[in-house]
Structure 1
Amino acid sequence: MSSIHLTAQGVKRRTPNARKIFGNVMVLILLLVFTFAFIAPFVWLILTSLKSPADLNAFPITWLPDHLHLDNFVQALTLIDYWRFAWNSFALSTIQSVLMTATSALVGFGFARLRGWGKRPLFLIMLSTMMLPSIVGIIPTYILFSQFGLVGTYWPWVIWGLASSPFLNFLFRQFFAAIPYELEEAAIVDGCGYGRIFWQIFLPLSKPVIATSMIISFTGVWGDFLGPSLFLDADNTTLAVAISHGYADLHGFTLVNVLAAGCTLYVLPMLILFFFAQKYFVRGIVTSGLKG
């Protein structure tokens, strides 16, 4: 009976471990599936950028190129004024990300630390704007900017940066709300105003959130296609618009392999940026918390 009891206990002890191993294996399989789903388009893009037109037209479809055609990247850089359009994208992304981070930090600080009537309803109204798709306001925005003569210039990105972002406002507000009030009270006792408290105390503590805000806003402008195609001309547009119609042969047909090479070069800076800044990005999201 004792052996049976011990055996039963052994089974009971081993069962949770077996279930845990099975659960870990299933989680690993799901992670591999989702990883493949995210990576597969980028891998296909790279493989296409290394193919020749003959490889693209081959039947059945060949996954790997017969030879690595690195000249596709040379054509991607020369068929259009690649570096000028890349500079336009970089300038717009930098301008809007810096302005939007600064204004969002100010708004988030106001909602988190300042006291006043109607602060909570205003905060809820601001959050409700996050539920509206950005495409809803694109036509009224275009009409408004055209009436002021701002279409074809970079001023819309400056105005959007000064208007801050509801999501980034919320992100900064949550981070600033988690800072102990004792720190603020000690600064007030020492004679600091709220402007000095924000600039010398709260802002230096919010480096992870600042990095997160810069990454989100920078990549948002860098990857935007609709805004530049509507508000900019062909000579001062961004790289996203330029590569969409700049790679064509004499008959007007798209050079798919060259387009893939241009898209690879277009995505590469964002991958490098996130690779070096992912630590601050994750820390900024985590440390913001969900404090009310």
Structure 2
Amino acid sequence: MATNDLEIDTRNKNIPTVVNSSLPRKRKRANILLHVLLTLGAITMVFPFLWTVLSSLKDISQIFLVPPKWIPNPLAWNNYPDSLQAMPFGKAYFNSFYITFIVVAATLITASMAAYAFAKIRFKGANIIFILFLSTMMIPKQVTMIPLYLIMDNIGWIDNHLSIIVPGALFNAFAVFLLRQFVMGIPRELEEAAIMDGAGYLRIYWNVILPLIRPALAAIGIFTFMGAWNSFIDPLIYLNTPELFTVPLLLNTFKGLYTAEWGLMMAGTTISVIPVLIIYIIAQKQIIEGVTLTGIKG
């Protein structure tokens, strides 16, 4: 009996060993498949940018060749200085930089304040107001363009940078939602300790909440920067004077009624993407950390 029991125990011990040895293989296959799909997705996403860069080094005779010519020969390096000289890109870059800076700074302040109020301050109708505020994300921009244009016209902000700065800085429901989820995960004991020390709402917000939500603020800042820098439809609607144009709107002027300077347009587009690439490469860790922690905290 003892021998049989020992054999049974040995078999029972061998069963999980066989199962466990098969799990790493399945996981390895799943990881390989996942990496293949992610690589294909990355190539798909990078392809338009790569095509833009290659086209910026071609003359007009090479851009529309069929089949396409991937490597430019000869390289049309003159597209870059020509594009900068053809249009007032210096002024457009200044406009884009200062508009983007103001929108990002104002969004971080207003969105973080609203997130703190919705997450930690109890007031009547807070949940209803938040739901109504969040529902604005489901309204297509095309629905609000005409009413917003009429409002800007009535207050005299047409052909003025304020028409681009103020709506973008004060009405960012996505930023409020993302920051609120993060603030909700902050322990209430920290607020209670600050209240015991005599701190009010403003001091708690500044000294307790803001330092703890810096990863989320960094992520929101990057998203807002890219959105404001690449914005085209709003400047197109509200701006008429070339001296007020932003970079995306100025690039559109290369497109004429019958012809388009595609080489110059591609060169200007490549130049305009450089600031966004630099910001994204520098703050890539903060973007991932902010979004990940926000999902966990919520």
TM-score, normalised via structure 1 length? 0.90
1:204 aligned residue: 211
How far did 1:162 drift? 4.9
Is 1:103–1:163's contact at 8 Å kept on the other side of the alignment?
Answer: yes
Is 1:126–1:166's contact at 8 Å kept on the other side of the alignment?
Answer: yes
How far did 1:55 drift? 1.9
User: Is 2:257 the partner of 1:239?
Assistant: no
How far did 1:8 drift? 9.6
* Distance in 1 of aligned mates of 2:104 and 2:139: 21
User: Is 2:133 the partner of 1:126?
Assistant: yes
Describe the superposition over 1:81-108 as per-residue Cα deviations: whole angstroms up to 9, x where unpaired.
1111111111111111111111111100
SS at match of 2:283: helix
Q: How does 1:1-292 map to 2 (within 5 A)?
A: 14-235=21-242, 236-246=244-254, 253-289=259-295
Q: What amino acid is the match of 1:175?
A: F
Q: What amino acid is the match of 1:270?
A: V
Describe the superposition over 1:23-57 as per-residue Cα deviations: whole angstroms up to 9, x where unpaired.
22211211111011001111111111111223224
* Distance in 2 of aligned mates of 1:87 and 1:150: 20
How far did 1:13 drift? 5.6
Cα gap change, 1:14 to 1:145, in 2 (>3 Å): same
Is 1:100–1:160's contact at 8 Å kept on the other side of the alignment?
Answer: no
Is 1:72–1:261's contact at 8 Å kept on the other side of the alignment?
Answer: yes
Is 1:51–1:69's contact at 8 Å kept on the other side of the alignment?
Answer: yes
How far did 1:63 drift? 1.2
Question: Greater shift after overlay, 150-159 or 179-188?
Answer: 150-159
SS at match of 1:289: helix
Q: What amino acid is the match of 1:258?
A: L
Q: What amino acid is the match of 1:239?
A: V
Cα gap change, 1:99 to 1:68, in 2 (>3 Å): same
Q: What amino acid is the match of 1:71?
A: N
* Distance in 1 of aligned mates of 2:288 and 2:207: 24
Number of equivalenced pairs: 287
- Ranges in structure 2 where 5+ consecutive residues have no aligned partner: 1-6
* Distance in 1 of aligned mates of 2:57 and 2:49: 13
* Distance in 2 of aligned mates of 1:59 and 1:28: 33
Cα gap change, 1:167 to 1:59, in 2 (>3 Å): closer
Q: What amino acid is the match of 1:168?
A: A
* Distance in 2 of aligned mates of 1:138 and 1:82: 27
How far did 1:9 drift? 8.8
SS at match of 1:61: coil
TM-score, normalised via structure 2 length? 0.89
Question: Greater shift after overlay, 148-157 or 105-114?
Answer: 148-157
* Distance in 2 of aligned mates of 1:212 and 1:140: 31
Percent sequence identity is 31
Question: Greater shift after overlay, 72-81 or 7-16?
Answer: 7-16
* Distance in 2 of aligned mates of 1:207 and 1:13: 42
How far did 1:286 drift? 1.8
Describe the superposition over 1:52-85 as per-residue Cα deviations: whole angstroms up to 9, x where unpaired.
2232244432111112221111111111011111
